[in-house]
């Protein structure tokens, strides 16, 4: 019996622990995103660890990317213009990195800015805290953001649950309103 086997070959590293990964259109580069922690292979110009990187599969090069807010356990989706939007996250770990702030209600945008990719966080916020939020881009270009925890604590404690959704417009800006969804109450935890 002849069995053809294929083997994977490691050709590069993500540079950061990869909690999230996304292929960025149209470049084909791969975005990696993690949480604030102290064991990344990449450092930023300020000598703090990078929590995000961009990998180029053509050159196997890595670019460290800075974030303003802690993206740990965020949700994400793409806008119609190709930008990646991540929503929510976790509390700051100021003892580890005082440059990265609270991410619970953050909205982050990754796009091509003058030929290079970087995270932009202009201060747009979600209507409420969301740790482990879900996000989905709708056919009309708006983004549906739902569920999560209000604080990242015990998921079996109902007071930590966020059984709501909110809408982001085609530019990834929240409408500022939470709407209760009964199914998220009934199926708690988030």
Residue 50 confidence (pLDDT) above 60: yes
Mean pLDDT across 14-41 = 91
**What is the rounded CA–CA span in Å between residue 80 and residue 176?**
21
Give the residue from 24, 42, 33, 45 showing the smallest Cα distance to 112.
24
Comparing 11 with 71, which gets the higher pLDDT?
A: 71
Give me the pLDDT at residue 3, please.
Answer: 67
79 touches 107 (CB < 8 A): no
Task: Read off the tokens for 182.
Answer: 């009964």
* Domains of the chain and CATH, by start: 20-186 (2.130.10.80)
CA separation for the pair 143, 126 (Å, rounded): 12
Spatial strand order of the sheet with 143-146 comes to 134-137, 143-146, 164-168, 179-180
d(CA 93, CA 98): 7
Question: Do residues 49 and 37 make contact, with C-beta atoms less than 8 angstroms apart?
Answer: yes
Specify the 3-state DSSP secondary structure of 63: strand
Express as a percent the part of the chain with pLDDT over 90: 77
User: Mind listing the pLDDT tens digit for each residue in 65-119?
Assistant: 999 999 999 999 999 999 999 999 999 999 999 999 999 999 999 999 888 999 9
Is it the case that residue 190 has pLDDT exceeding 80?
no
Q: Which two tokens stand for residue 148?
A: 């999560």
Q: 3-state DSSP call for residue 48? A: coil
């Amino acid at each position: 019996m002849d069995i053809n086997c294929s083997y994977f070959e490691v050709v590069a590293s993500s540079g950061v622990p990869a909690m999230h990964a996304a292929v960025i259109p149209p470049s084909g580069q791969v975005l990696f995103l993690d949480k604030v922690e102290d064991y990344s292979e990449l450092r930023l110009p300020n000598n703090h660890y990078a929590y995000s990187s961009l990998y180029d599969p053509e050159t196997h090069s890595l670019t460290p990317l800075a974030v303003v807010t802690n993206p740990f356990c965020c949700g994400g989706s793409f806008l119609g213009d190709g930008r990646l939007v991540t929503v929510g996250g976790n509390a700051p770990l100021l003892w580890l990195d005082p440059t990265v702030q609270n991410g619970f209600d953050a909205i982050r945008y990754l796009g091509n800015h003058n030929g290079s990719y970087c995270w932009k966080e202009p201060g747009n916020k979600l209507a409420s805290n969301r740790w482990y939020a879900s996000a989905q881009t709708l056919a009309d270009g708006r983004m549906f953001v739902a569920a999560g925890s209000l604080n990242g604590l015990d998921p079996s404690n109902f007071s930590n649950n966020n059984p709501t959704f909110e809408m982001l417009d085609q530019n990834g800006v929240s409408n500022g309103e939470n709407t209760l969804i009964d199914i998220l109450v009934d199926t708690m935890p988030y």
